[in-house]
Amino acid sequence: MDSKEKEENKEKVEVKDESAPKPINNENKKEQNISKINKILSDSTTSEKVFDLLFVIDATGSMSNYITAAKDETENISKELRNSYPEYHFQYGYVFYRDPIDSHDDKHEVINLTDQVNSLPEKIKKIKAYGGGDMPEDWVGAYKLVNEKINWRNGLKVIIHLADAGAHGKEFTLSDKYPEESIKLKSELLKVCQNGIKIFGYVITEDARHSFNECQNYYRSNGGSYEICDFKIAGGSYGYDDYSDSDDDIKYKSFKKGCKKKVKAKRKEESEDEIEYEECKEKEELKMSKKKKMKKKCSSDESDEDKDDYDEDICDEDEYIGKKKEKKYKGHELSSKQGAINSTFKTRVLKSVKSAMPY
């Protein structure tokens, strides 16, 4: 092909048909798609907001009633929150901590955040209160789990922390054989704070108050939101209902000593009931043995009147033993104290969530 023919072909290629549709600009199409996706994402975040609620609960021996309250009230709390805040998608989770620092048999347990509320009571039911030993417990381990094992979402995040004993670390407990725990606890709290989680610390006994106060001071100094609340019920488990922050140390120690005496007296009474019940049981077995022998004898040589008198004696003995059994097992019924703890637990949680709302 000579140079002349090349020029002619070039001119043919450059000829444009003005009536033909213009080609789509791929860059403009890409920008339009991105804009649409962003709008969809924006609409979904505004139509359904998220709220993650995590319970951090001391699960050592003295906390059985509070674990029961968590089991009993989870569904009720969820129902009320769903009705009050239908625009929010709630998730619930639990960290149950003990004290493996002092006892290697103590283990922490985690129930991760979920919206499957119906499954939570059965999971919580499997959690048993045990362990402890000395007064401080492993708050460091609890908040380590909060940071490493909980699947937090972007949105409102709240921790409800219930404790009747303080944290390890001299700074948080004043007297402790693990002073290094103070630095560890601060490190974990800082991570929680940086994650934008609001904490409500519920003081069950005065033994935990100092730790909650120190945590609050540190948390707030780093820009976090931390509220301390009292978990008090009428006729409470530990007898601190009449104690206030204004009472002096002497009154507090005296009151605490009186509570311990009442507990010892109650245990002694239960022990005496146990002995009395066992004695009655032995008498019953002996009486039943005599009754069998007497029946054989009555059938041969005793009058009906004699047999009636003997049976009346047996009935009196049975009634006496029955009353002792009733007294012995009366304490196994659901106490009004548990009902009060359940009610207080639900009320406090709902109040905390309401105060955490942005409006």
CATH number at residue 351: 3.40.50.410
Question: How many angstroms separate the CA atoms of 198 and 121, rounded?
Answer: 24
pLDDT higher for 279 or 359? 359
pLDDT, tens digit, 9 for 90 and up, residues 54-100: 999 999 999 999 999 999 999 999 999 999 999 999 999 999 999 99
Across 213-355, the runs of DSSP E, i.e. the strands, are 226-230
pLDDT, tens digit, 9 for 90 and up, residues 105-155: 889 999 999 999 999 999 999 999 998 766 899 999 999 999 999 999 999
273 band by pLDDT with thresholds 50, 70 and 90: low
25 found inside a domain: no
31 found inside a domain: no
Range of the domain at 241: 47-263+336-356
Are 53 and 202 in the same domain?
A: yes
Are 300 and 185 in the same domain?
A: no
Are 166 and 238 in the same domain?
A: yes
Q: How many CB atoms lie within 10 A of CB 233?
A: 18
pLDDT at residue number 234: 63
Q: How many CB atoms lie within 10 A of CB 314?
A: 15
pLDDT higher for 353 or 335? 353
Q: What is the mean pLDDT of the chain?
A: 77
Question: How many angstroms separate the CA atoms of 68 and 235, rounded?
Answer: 18
Q: How many CB atoms lie within 10 A of CB 203?
A: 23
pLDDT at residue number 298: 56
Are 102 and 174 in the same domain?
A: yes
pLDDT, tens digit, 9 for 90 and up, residues 182-229: 999 999 999 999 999 999 999 999 989 999 999 999 999 999 999 999
- For the question of whether the overall pTM of this predicted structure is more than 0.85, the answer is no
289 found inside a domain: yes
pLDDT at residue number 320: 46
- Displacement of CA 87 from its chain's centroid (Å): 25
User: In sequence order, what are the beta bridge partners of 109?
Assistant: 96
Are 213 and 282 in the same domain?
A: no
pLDDT at residue number 179: 86
Are 180 and 314 in the same domain?
A: no
pLDDT at residue number 132: 73
Return the CA Rg of the chain.
35
Are 288 and 143 in the same domain?
A: no
pLDDT at residue number 331: 41
Tokens of 188: 């974990």
Interval 269-289 mean pLDDT: 66
Question: How many angstroms separate the CA atoms of 117 and 291, rounded?
Answer: 57
pLDDT higher for 309 or 353? 353
256 found inside a domain: yes
HEC letters along 37-87: HHHHHHHHHHHCEEEEEEEEEECCHHHHHHHHHHHHHHHHHHHHHHHHCCC
Question: How many angstroms separate the CA atoms of 236 and 234, rounded?
Answer: 5
Are 208 and 288 in the same domain?
A: no
Provide long-range contacts, Cβ within 8 A and 24+ apart, for 190-193.
190/222, 191/143, 191/147, 192/143, 192/146, 192/147, 192/159, 192/219, 192/224, 193/219, 193/222, 193/223, 193/224
Question: How many angstroms separate the CA atoms of 253 and 240, rounded?
Answer: 11
Query: What is the pairing mode between strands 109-114 and 156-163?
Result: unpaired
Question: How many angstroms separate the CA atoms of 123 and 358, rounded?
Answer: 31
Interval 37-48 mean pLDDT: 44
Are 226 and 154 in the same domain?
A: yes
Q: How many domains does the chain have?
A: 2
pLDDT, tens digit, 9 for 90 and up, residues 164-185: 999 999 899 877 888 889 999 9
**Continuous segment of H or E residues that includes residue 105:** none
In this prediction, what percent of the chain has a pLDDT beyond 70? 59
pLDDT at residue number 252: 43
Whether the CB-CB separation of 139 and 97 falls below 8 Å is answered with yes
Whether the CB-CB separation of 67 and 339 falls below 8 Å is answered with no
Tokens of 192: 């929680």
pLDDT higher for 296 or 24? 296
Among candidate residues 233, 305, 54, 293, the one with its CA nearest the CA of residue 157: 54
pLDDT at residue number 133: 66
351 found inside a domain: yes
pLDDT higher for 97 or 244? 97
Are 184 and 305 in the same domain?
A: no
335 band by pLDDT with thresholds 50, 70 and 90: confident
pLDDT at residue number 43: 41
In this predicted structure, the answer to whether residue 283 has a pLDDT above a threshold of 60 is: yes
Across 2-6, 32-36, 53-57, least confident range: 32-36
Are 123 and 143 in the same domain?
A: yes
For residue 344, give the 3-state DSSP assignment.
helix
In this predicted structure, the answer to whether residue 284 has a pLDDT above a threshold of 60 is: yes
320 found inside a domain: yes
18 found inside a domain: no
19 found inside a domain: no
pLDDT at residue number 76: 97
For residue 130, give the 3-state DSSP assignment.
coil
Are 289 and 161 in the same domain?
A: no
